[in-house]
């Protein structure tokens, strides 16, 4: 067995526990240092560790993880960051003319893999003390496509373009107006087409430091595609984008394969990943501890493997339960329940933009999904319901005074203190209840970060804290604006399931603004579709059935979905395919019955 020991330095508090872990290690008691201390922190020597797990159970901060893996994997170790740090096994096999998708949880090694393939991180094959030379790497990967890849990368003969995950940091490394910057990198003459496809004309004369997250994302993707290279790497290209923009970005990336380019994309939106990928590599393991790259699979099989949690060709199960979607729009009794919220015709005007709200209502125990392009007024509508914005005309109608819990679109770590302190102050007595732990904390996987300071959290962790805080309040109306941002596939579906349970169990209303169509399908009872001209005017249409809402929305997008026969997940039809033409003809863009197929 290979033992992988990992220390979470953010959780380890050696001064507070007085090196408690060493006192319980049997190897320390037998004078063999399985745990020693360097820089006042525990260091597990894996060759001496017996894997008893005592130190893991005794650590009050859950800072230690020790995992047993098969011996065969040790030969396939690709990279390790240091002693008791994350370990990555295997690497994807890049191929020209193929779009390869990377799918897995946060902290499982996808970004590390892209850094290795881009040349930013030189793989050390697990030997972090004496990293191998490029010639040794080439020898190690002999017989695979990675042999030639690393040969060229080591000789600086391979041109790689890498679109990073955090586009909000782009203004820190580049400055100037969008048009001038893109024209400098337009090495293939594609800029004119991309500017129109990605709607960059509206930001052409603006500087990078004033752009929103979605605008920065489109600029970064356009800059990557315009450059001449052999390999293109994209890390989460759909972040901050609405559905239409995500599909346009996917189309633009897929166009690279026509020139026999090597394209690799890490993405959490299943619909987008399915649409743009030809093949899939599934990443599994223990987030923050180790990650394993599966063999290459077809796109449908690969995504289904991730949802089912079982890899047949490796005989590995990495999740206890499969994720299954509902086959048709859910027909819950809550839709016919008591009407708790009504709103009249409302209007809210800003400089250069106006939102018109059509009268509607929301019923007890239902989740209403909100879909529409960026800049169409979805956040403004949510703020009108929350009371943080006042309508110029019209108002909402409630049978009694509503308590409202609102999670905004953009979140920041303003709270100084631990996650547990924050949640206790919000949930109060509910925090210690079994229902709260089983229905909110555990599904959202909050227990491992309860003792962490809020200011130290990553984007995904901060998002989960914001969602948990919102759901912890006693309210009759819950408003969540883009709760899936920064979350991986499993976290998104757990988030959707948790919101549904809270709405049903407490008999309250939840509005969820979300661009991930798969997540909306998983969470919503009814849909509100926003139409209009983004940035100019928007119309908030009343809630309608999931089927009608999806058909209206997707017809405007010009795309159709079908159901996977195994997992029942929504899949985007290829444009012009037989099924795509048939569904458009019968007017069913989303849910198609067996007879209609």
CATH code of the domain containing 83: 3.40.50.300
Domain that holds residue 483: 333-546
C-alpha to C-alpha distances, 407 to 256, 379, 522, 530, nearest whole angstrom: 38, 11, 19, 20
The verdict on 437 and 337 lying in the same domain is yes
CATH code of the domain containing 25: 3.30.70.20
Sequence-distant (≥ 6) Cβ neighbours of residue 209 within 8 angstroms:
171, 175
The verdict on 281 and 369 lying in the same domain is no
Sign of the CA dihedral running 216, 219, 225, 228: negative
Q: Looking at residue 53, what is its pLDDT?
A: 85
Using CA atoms, how far apart are residues 435 and 413, in angstroms rounded to an integer? 27
Number of structural domains found in the chain: 4
The verdict on 140 and 276 lying in the same domain is yes
Strands (E), 438-519: 477-481, 509-513
Would you say residue 194 lies in a domain?
A: no
Query: Are 550 and 522 contacting, i.e. CB atoms less than 8 angstroms apart?
Result: no
The verdict on 591 and 472 lying in the same domain is no
Sign of the CA dihedral running 138, 141, 145, 146: negative
Burial (0-12, 13-18, 19+ Cβ within 10 Å), 4? buried
The verdict on 541 and 591 lying in the same domain is no
The verdict on 285 and 365 lying in the same domain is no
The verdict on 344 and 287 lying in the same domain is no
Would you say residue 212 lies in a domain?
A: no
List per-residue pLDDT tens for the chain, 597 residues long. 778 889 888 788 888 887 888 888 888 877 788 888 888 888 888 888 888 888 888 888 888 888 888 877 888 999 999 888 999 999 999 999 999 999 999 989 999 999 999 999 999 999 999 999 999 999 999 999 999 999 999 999 999 999 998 887 888 888 889 999 999 999 989 999 999 999 898 889 889 888 888 889 999 999 999 999 999 999 999 988 888 899 899 999 999 999 999 999 999 988 899 989 999 999 999 988 999 999 999 999 999 999 999 999 999 999 888 887 766 544 444 445 788 888 989 999 988 889 999 999 999 899 999 998 888 899 899 999 888 888 888 877 665 567 899 998 877 777 888 899 999 999 999 999 999 999 999 999 998 888 888 888 888 889 999 999 999 999 999 999 989 888 888 899 899 999 999 999 999 999 999 988 888 888 899 999 999 988 889 999 999 988 889 898 888 888 888 888 888 888 888 888 899 999 999 988 886 654 444
The verdict on 395 and 377 lying in the same domain is yes
Would you say residue 216 lies in a domain?
A: no
The verdict on 151 and 97 lying in the same domain is yes
**Residues β-bridged to residue 102:** 266, 281
Q: Looking at residue 449, what is its pLDDT?
A: 87
The verdict on 268 and 342 lying in the same domain is no
Would you say residue 327 lies in a domain?
A: no
Residues written for the chain? 597
The pairing of strands 367-371 and 526-533 is: parallel
Would you say residue 271 lies in a domain?
A: yes
The verdict on 511 and 424 lying in the same domain is yes
Give me 384's structure tokens. 């009108």
Q: Looking at residue 582, what is its pLDDT?
A: 92
Would you say residue 375 lies in a domain?
A: yes
The verdict on 75 and 41 lying in the same domain is no
Q: Looking at residue 421, what is its pLDDT?
A: 94
Q: What phi and psi values does residue 275 have, to the nearest 5 degrees?
A: -70, -40
Would you say residue 119 lies in a domain?
A: yes
Would you say residue 225 lies in a domain?
A: no
Angle at CA of residue 546, ends 542 and 552, nearest 5°: 70
Instruction: Identify the domain boundary among 273, 293, 322.
Output: 322
């Amino acid at each position: 067995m290979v033992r992988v020991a990992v220390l979470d330095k953010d959780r380890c508090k050696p001064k507070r526990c007085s090196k408690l872990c060493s006192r319980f290690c049997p190897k320390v008691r037998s004078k063999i240092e399985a745990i020693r201390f360097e820089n006042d922190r525990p260091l597990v020597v894996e060759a001496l560790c017996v894997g008893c797990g005592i130190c893991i159970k005794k650590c009050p901060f859950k800072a230690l993880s020790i995992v047993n893996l098969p011996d065969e994997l040790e030969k396939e170790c690709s990279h390790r960051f240091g002693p008791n740090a994350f370990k990555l096994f295997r690497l994807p096999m890049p191929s020209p003319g193929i779009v390869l998708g990377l799918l897995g949880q946060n902290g499982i090694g996808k970004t590390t893999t892209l850094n290795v393939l881009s040349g930013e991180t030189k793989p050390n094959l697990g030997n972090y003390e004496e990293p191998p030379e490029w010639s040794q790497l080439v020898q190690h990967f002999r017989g695979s496509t990675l042999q030639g890849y690393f040969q060229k990368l080591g000789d600086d003969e391979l041109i790689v373009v890498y679109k990073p995950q955090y586009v909000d940091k782009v203004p820190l490394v580049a400055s100037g107006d969008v048009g001038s910057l893109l024209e400098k990198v337009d090495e293939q003459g594609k800029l004119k087409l991309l500017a129109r496809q990605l709607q960059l004309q509206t930001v052409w004369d603006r500087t990078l430091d004033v752009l929103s997250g979605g605008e920065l994302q489109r600029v970064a993707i356009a800059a990557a595609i315009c450059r001449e290279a052999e390999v293109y790497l994209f890390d989460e290209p759909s972040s901050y984008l609405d559905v239409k923009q995500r599909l346009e970005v996917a189309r633009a990336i897929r166009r690279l394969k026509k020139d026999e380019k090597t394209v690799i994309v890490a993405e959490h939106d299943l619909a987008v990943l399915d649409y743009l990928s030809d093949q899939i590599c599934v990443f599994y393991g223990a987030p923050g501890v180790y990650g394993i790259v599966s063999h290459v699979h077809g796109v449908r099989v690969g995504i289904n493997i991730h949802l089912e949690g079982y890899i047949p060709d490796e005989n590995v199960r990495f999740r206890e339960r499969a994720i299954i979607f509902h086959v048709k729009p859910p027909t819950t009794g809550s839709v016919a329940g008591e009407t708790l919220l009504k709103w009249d015709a409302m209007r809210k005007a800003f400089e250069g933009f106006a939102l018109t709200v059509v009268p509607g209502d929301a019923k007890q125990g239902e989740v209403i999904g909100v879909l529409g392009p960026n800049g169409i007024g979805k956040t403004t509508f949510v703020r009108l319901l929350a009371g943080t914005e006042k309508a110029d005309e019209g108002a909402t109608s409630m049978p009694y005074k509503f308590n409202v819990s609102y999670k905004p679109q953009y979140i920041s770590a303003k709270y100084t203190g631990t996650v547990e302190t924050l949640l206790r102050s919000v949930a109060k007595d509910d925090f210690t209840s079994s229902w709260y732990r089983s229905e909110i904390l555990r599904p959202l996987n909050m227990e491992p970060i309860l003792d962490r300071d809020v200011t130290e959290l990553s984007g995904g962790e901060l998002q989960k804290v914001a969602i948990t805080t919102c759901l912890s309040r006693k309210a009759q109306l819950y408003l969540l604006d883009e709760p899936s941002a920064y979350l991986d596939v499993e976290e998104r579906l757990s988030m959707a399931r948790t919101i549904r349970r809270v709405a049903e169990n407490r008999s309250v209303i939840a509005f969820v603004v979300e661009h991930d169509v798969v997540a909306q399908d998983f969470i919503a009872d009814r849909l509100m579709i926003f139409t209009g001209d983004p940035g100019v005017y928007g119309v908030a249409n009343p809630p309608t059935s999931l089927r009608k809402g999806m058909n209206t929305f997707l017809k405007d997008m010009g795309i159709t979905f079908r159901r996977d026969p195994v997992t029942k997940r929504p899949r985007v039809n290829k444009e012009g395919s037989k099924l795509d033409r048939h569904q458009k003809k019968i007017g069913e863009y989303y849910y198609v019955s067996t007879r209609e197929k």
